[in-house]
A and B are shown apart, each in its own frame.
Chain A
């Protein structure tokens, strides 16, 4: 838990907690905007506090032209909450100040969804087949196999080459070769196991002589790292699927 040390140090200062509260109210603020919330402080002072928050992983920055925007990263706070607050002090959490609004925000925020649209030079039938056949999924879906009876209400399981369960869920809707909706339960790590089940919907439609695959992953729990990490996961899976269907060869990418 030594990696949490910078988080505690960062949270120990009231100015820094104020900056986090301000980013919680509105994400993406510039230094100038954040500095306004600390009228007593110089630009350099505000910068120093933001640097401490950034080093603790509580704030993520992104440069846009000459401006640097600051975004809240809730993950370290959630880890603190899971590790110490939930375990030892649940009855107290309501009266904790400082972290309070913040944690409630993380817990009450709406669920996260991700939408992907990819166009393929293939037929809807071939694309459909690629979603449900293990010999194909193993070549583009992190090596996972898929197993199901493929009817509404049936379960499905995706397992690693060593047979370890990684994802499972239930088929909610199935309309070949157009639409497949399933619940999504992740099992690949502790964070993912704690997440409430989410939902994925694949929609396939013709687009000229190509076809379009839309993937909607909705109902992701914002308090889990997985809510964001699945985004790059899907980008890689869909990129690999496209390469496989269009060239016949798998894509040899390393993740992230």
Chain B
């Protein structure tokens, strides 16, 4: 059994679990925090999902493994960007729970290979996505991760 790496992220968001669930599963919302991509799926266990770029091609996709709104979402994760061709299919788990007046979102990315470019890249990628999701849900505005023109 090859040893794999797990990334774990926890973020507290001033929003209800339902709002966070919507942010995870609604393409119009992911466009505003998930590198401009729009997520598409019927969100049933066993169904496919895709994060589509504005040109309609897939940035990453996979299968919905477990859906328990608004608490838990498990998906497989296959990167489709250039350079990720030889990366294995990994697993992403989202867990949402109330924490006082706010909610805690935990993201677990499992099955990553040690020393792979994907493993190094997704860590910062998730930090950007989760930071931008929190900004969007709390302020209604996207996080300007790109310089303005």
Contacts and interface: CB of A to CB of B under 8 A. Distances in A.
Interface of A: 26, 33, 64-65, 115-121, 207-210, 231-232, 235-236, 239-240, 242-243, 246-247, 251-256
Contact of A210 (B11, B123, B144): B144
B42 interface: no
Contacts of B145: 119, 207-210
Given A64-B93, A251-B102, A121 B12 contact: no
Contacts of B65: 65
Nearest to A239: B12
Contacts of B11: 235, 239
A97 B144 CA distance: 58
Contacts of A239: 11-13, 134
Interface of B: 1, 3, 8-14, 65-66, 74, 91, 93, 99-102, 104, 110, 123-124, 127-128, 131-132, 134-135, 138-139, 141, 143-148
A120 B138 CA distance: 12
A253 B139 contact: no
A119 B74 contact: no
Contacts of B124: 117
Nearest to A234: B10
A118 B100 CA distance: 22
B138 A247 contact: yes
